[in-house]
Chain A
Amino acid sequence: MAAATGPSRWHKNISAKVAALPMITTALVVFIGGTAWTVVYSFTNSKLLPREKFVGFAQYDRLWNSSKWLISIENLAIYGAFSLVFSLLIGFLLAALLDQKIRFEDTFRTILLYPFALSFIVTGLAWQWILNPDFGVQEVVRSLGWESFAFDPLYNPEIVIYGILIAGLWQGTGLIMCLMLAGLRGIDEDIWKAAKIDGIPMWKTYIFIVIPMMRGIFITAIVLIASGIIKVYDLVVAQTGGGPGISSEVPAKYVYDAMFLSQNLGQGFAASTMMLLTVIIIVVPWAYLEFGGKRRG
């Protein structure tokens, strides 16, 4: 084997390297370069245009003294935790249901996936109406006779972030379901047969055999959901504009507003550097263990 692959190994590696060139360029130039640029300018007082007037940690001081930023982080934590858990749970359950060789699979799959095709702007608008206490769900339930029924998530600062979550899950779970379904379809039929012969109940087969086999899909799904969570912006803008008050602000919106509404690029860059730092602290060790630490057998 070694003798056979020896002479051609160099060539093979070259092919792989050439093929990976766009990725390498993107990683180095755009992501590393762009990030470094952002971090450098977060130490300046750039306003409308990037300028090299360095002010030390002033932007960071201001950031952590801003109640808007603190609320943003808290909201992101709540939204993120629920969004991650429910997207995975609902996505997997729906995929498992669709994988039962049911009829009308196409119909159901399309129904579950279609929200993903619609823009956030109007998704937000439609949900804003449905959740409006005066003419949405609350009013309908009340008119059916349950006078004290209260469901006004978008108008109650305490629970507004859950109102956004409802729309977020509606929009995003279909795609996760689709991914999971692709994963399930990649599972060998024989595994199911073997499990059946051994008399293992279906739910046990899923939890102990199928899900571990779908590890890659789960990782993809988690990255997809988590990166979506960090970047959540349009949905909030469309549904509440950050309100009532500042109770549904999120970090990405803080960054955007700082950069383009308050025209304080430095502040926006500082906020995004903090976001990035958090991501790096969480993602890099995990990614190293997941992708870098071991060789595929």
Chain B
Amino acid sequence: MGNVTKTSAEVELAPVSHEMTGPRGRKPRKMLSRRNIMIYGTLIVVSLYYLLPLYVMIVTSLKGMPEIRLGNIFSPPVEITFQPWVKAWAEACTGLNCDGLSRGFFNSVRILVPSVILSIAIASVNGYALANWRFKGSETFFTILIVGAFIPYQVMIYPIVIMLREVGLYGSLTGLVIVHTIFGMPILTLLFRNYFASVPQELFKAARVDGAGFWGIYFRIMVPMSLPIFVVAMILQVTGIWNDFLFGVIYTKPDLYPMTVQLNNIVNSTQGVKEYNVNMAATILTGLVPLTIYFISGKLFVRGIAAGAVKG
């Protein structure tokens, strides 16, 4: 498995054909069993379906506008141009500021890092308390939280504006981080609660007999055993927060606007010429951060198997 993971993120996402047939060719013959053909066959067909839109996006982002106007979305570019990529990153205008996506990149990072850390930290402790240290009423609060997961975000915009205004955090980074933490909490808490509940009770009891307290058990036993679920939580939060537009733009000010504001401005202008190639390049560029995180954390995820083995 180790040799495979060396492939870079870019190769991972390159157009399909040879990349996908590769594995079958290189495999030792004895592995061409019916079972394997079925498994790989299914995965390859499914992968093709998953890669189709990406293929369309990449191909489109490499074409010039005249070529796009001709209309075949599947045909490879006749003349490859990287201009849309350059434009999306560094030249596309957001009103007066013609420096593309690069403008909001660091703001996005500034929002992402504290939001992800805080939301996962709080939710994992919540989940741990709910799974292992129930107290009177804890399940009621949890049920409220779960119902909260179903409330459309838009409805909460104004009440939250009022709350943030009252505590004096409206327009600040802290306010936005708190909003992200709040809206990530239901699902993440549920995720951690269920995972911690599946940790064998014997371990927990043994630690308590040894005199470990709430935090001791959390840090020394629970966290190290829960790598896969931390990775899943991270995937969820990184994607959600990185791609967030509404909260970023409503609860902060222009000097804190995340990258998605520029993405929205590039993709969403209605009364002007739509540059589909730049749109596509901008989307792929915006998606690169979550993608990179997926790719790196994928390896951690695999290592989670080892964590699973500890349990046995």
Which A residues fall within an 8 A CB radius of B? 4-5, 8, 11-13, 15-17, 19-20, 22-24, 26-35, 37-38, 50, 94, 97-98, 100, 102-119, 121-123, 125-127, 129-130, 132, 134-136, 140, 170, 174-175, 178-179, 181-182, 185-190, 216-217, 219-220, 223-224, 226-227, 230-231, 233, 251-252, 255-256, 259-260, 265, 268-269, 272, 275-276, 279-280, 283-284, 287-288, 291-292, 295-297
Chain B hits for A33, CB < 8 A: 159, 163
Contact B155 A268 (CB under 8 A): yes
Distance (whole angstroms) from the CB of B275 to the closest CB of chain A: 12
Chain B hits for A255, CB < 8 A: 152, 154-155
B51 close to chain A: CB less than 8 A? yes
Type the 1/0 row for B30-71, where 1 means its CB is closer than 8 Å to any CB of A: 000000000110110011011111101100000000000001
Contact A115 B50 (CB under 8 A): yes
Segment from B92-100, B105-113, B290-298 that makes contact with A: B290-298
B126 close to chain A: CB less than 8 A? yes
Q: Which residue of the partner chain, among A187, A220, A227, contacts B191 with CB atoms under 8 Å?
A: A220
Chain B hits for A114, CB < 8 A: 13, 50, 54, 287, 291, 294
Distance (whole angstroms) from the CB of B252 to the closest CB of chain A: 18
Chain A hits for B304, CB < 8 A: 182, 185
**Cα–Cα distance between A123 and B53 once the two chains are bound (Å):** 8
Distance (whole angstroms) from the CB of B175 to the closest CB of chain A: 13
Contact A117 B287 (CB under 8 A): yes
Contact B129 A287 (CB under 8 A): no
Type the 1/0 row for B125-150, where 1 means its CB is closer than 8 Å to any CB of A: 11011110111001111111111111
B172 close to chain A: CB less than 8 A? no
Which residue of A is nearest B292, CB measured? A117
Q: Which residue of the partner chain, among A8, A16, A188, contacts B311 with CB atoms under 8 Å?
A: A188
Type the 1/0 row for B69-106, where 1 means its CB is closer than 8 Å to any CB of A: 00111100000000000000000000000000000000
Contact B194 A19 (CB under 8 A): no
Which residue of A is nearest B143, CB measured? A287
Contact B232 A182 (CB under 8 A): yes
Chain B hits for A113, CB < 8 A: 235, 294
Contact B159 A189 (CB under 8 A): no
Which B residues fall within an 8 A CB radius of A? 1, 4-5, 7, 9, 12-13, 19, 23, 27, 39-40, 42-43, 46-47, 49-54, 56-57, 71-74, 122, 125-126, 128-131, 133-135, 138-156, 158-160, 163, 181-182, 185-187, 189-191, 193-195, 197-198, 201, 208-209, 213-215, 228-229, 231-232, 235-236, 239, 243, 245, 260, 263-264, 267-268, 276, 279-280, 282-284, 286-287, 290-291, 294-295, 298-299, 301-302, 304-305, 308-309, 311-312
**Cα–Cα distance between A140 and B213 once the two chains are bound (Å):** 64
**19 A–B contacts from the bound complex (CB under 8 Å):** A22-B181, A23-B141, A24-B141, A27-B144, A30-B159, A37-B159, A106-B4, A106-B295, A109-B301, A113-B235, A116-B235, A117-B290, A118-B284, A125-B279, A178-B235, A182-B231, A227-B150, A231-B152, A296-B197
Q: Which residue of the partner chain, among A23, A116, A230, contacts B185 with CB atoms under 8 Å?
A: A23
Distance (whole angstroms) from the CB of B133 to the closest CB of chain A: 4
Which residue of A is nearest B185, CB measured? A26
Q: A110-B295, A111-B12, A280-B147 are in contact. List 14 more A-B contacts (CB 8 A).
A: A12-B214, A13-B135, A16-B214, A20-B135, A23-B189, A33-B163, A50-B158, A103-B27, A111-B47, A112-B46, A114-B291, A231-B152, A275-B152, A283-B147
